[in-house]
């Protein structure tokens, strides 16, 4: 097992950090943008506070549902979210996601780091998923 497997993605979003933060922490907004490829979010429950929990349910094109859940470890309004990430079907493995928001004029630089993967293959799978989700987030703010 490699504790080193991780990924980092960046996007410049056409929205202020406060708007981007709300898109990550309000379930109604997250449902609208977090849909990597053909896998929309059908349910989301978010309690975005330190020690709060979240659950995000995706529906695959074949009808199967996948649930990601975890706990918020750090919440700095309009600046930073740190949360654990666990797939329900693989509950024994927990990884870590950090979302940093930096103002850039009227826009925001978002840096997403996801770490503690089992191996590089798992990191690559998540890179594809997060890339699709962040592409959707970019469109959400256009």
Q: Which domains does the chain have, with CATH numbers?
A: 6-140 (3.30.530.20)
Listed in sequence order, the DSSP H helices in the chain are: 17-25, 27-33, 120-140
Query: What are the tokens at 124?
Result: 């690559």
Q: pLDDT exceeding 90 applies to what percent of the chain?
A: 88
Residue 2: pLDDT band with limits 50, 70, 90: very low
pLDDT above 70 (res 35): yes
Residue 91 is encoded by which pair of tokens? 């509950």
Return the DSSP state at 55.
E
Residue 45: what pLDDT?
98
Residue 22 has pLDDT above 50, yes or no: yes
- Amino acid 1: pLDDT: 43
Question: In the structure encoding, which two tokens stand for residue 9, read together?
Answer: 């993605």
């Amino acid at each position: 097992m490699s504790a080193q497997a991780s990924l980092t993605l960046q996007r410049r979003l056409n929205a202020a950090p406060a708007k981007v933060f709300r898109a990550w922490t309000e379930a109604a907004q997250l449902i609208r943008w977090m849909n990597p490829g053909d896998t929309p979010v059908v349910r989301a429950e978010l309690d975005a506070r330190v020690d709060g929990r979240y659950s995000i349910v995706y529906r695959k094109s074949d009808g199967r549902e996948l649930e990601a859940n975890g706990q918020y470890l750090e919440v700095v309004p309009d600046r930073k979210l740190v949360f654990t990430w666990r797939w329900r079907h693989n509950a024994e493995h927990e990884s870590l996601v950090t979302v940093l928001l930096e103002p850039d004029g009227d826009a925001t630089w978002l840096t997403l780091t996801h770490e503690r993967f089992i191996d590089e293959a798992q990191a690559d799978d998540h890179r594809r998923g997060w890339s699709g989700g962040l592409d959707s987030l970019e469109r959400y703010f256009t």
